[in-house]
Amino acid sequence: MIYTTYYNSPVGKILLASKDNKLIGLWIEGQKYYLGKLKEKILEKDDEMIFTKTKKWLDKYFDRKKPKISELDLAPIGSEFAQNVWKILCEIPYGKVTTYGEIAKKVAKIMNKNKMSSQAVGGAVGHNPISIIIPCHRVVGSNGNLTGYAGGIDKKIKLLEHENVDMHNLYIPTKGTAI
Instruction: State mean pLDDT over 136-153.
Output: 88
Using CA atoms, how far apart are residues 136 and 23, in angstroms rounded to an integer? Answer: 16
Indicate the angle between helix axes 118-126 and 80-89, nearest 10 degrees: 80
The percent of residues above 70 in pLDDT, for the chain, comes to 94
Higher-confidence position of 35 and 145: 145
Whether 155 has a pLDDT exceeding 60, the answer reads: yes
Whether residue 46 contacts residue 15, with contact meaning beta carbons closer than 8 Å, is answered with: no
Using CA atoms, how far apart are residues 126 and 123, in angstroms rounded to an integer? Answer: 5
Whether residue 7 contacts residue 27, with contact meaning beta carbons closer than 8 Å, is answered with: no
Predicted confidence (pLDDT) per residue in 26-51, tens digit: 999 888 766 666 777 888 999 999 99
Does 90 participate in catalysis according to the annotation?
A: no
Whether 176 has a pLDDT exceeding 60, the answer reads: no
Contacts of 179 (CB under 8 A, 6+ apart): 100, 118, 119, 121, 122, 141, 145, 147, 148
> Domains in the chain, start-ordered, CATH in brackets?
2-71 (3.30.160.70), 80-162 (1.10.10.10)
Using CA atoms, how far apart are residues 94 and 63, in angstroms rounded to an integer? Answer: 13
Report CA torsion sign: 25, 31, 36, 38.
positive
The string of DSSP codes covering 138-168 is GEE-TTSB----TT-HHHHHHHHHHTT---T
Nearest Cα to 138, choosing from 87, 93, 104, 78? 93
Neighbours of 165 (CB within 10 A): 18
Whether 109 has a pLDDT exceeding 70, the answer reads: yes
Instruction: State mean pLDDT over 113-129.
Output: 92
Q: Which of 136, 139, 159, 179 is catalytic?
A: 136
What pLDDT is recorded for position 83?
Answer: 96
Residue type, 10: P
Using CA atoms, how far apart are residues 96 and 88, in angstroms rounded to an integer? Answer: 13
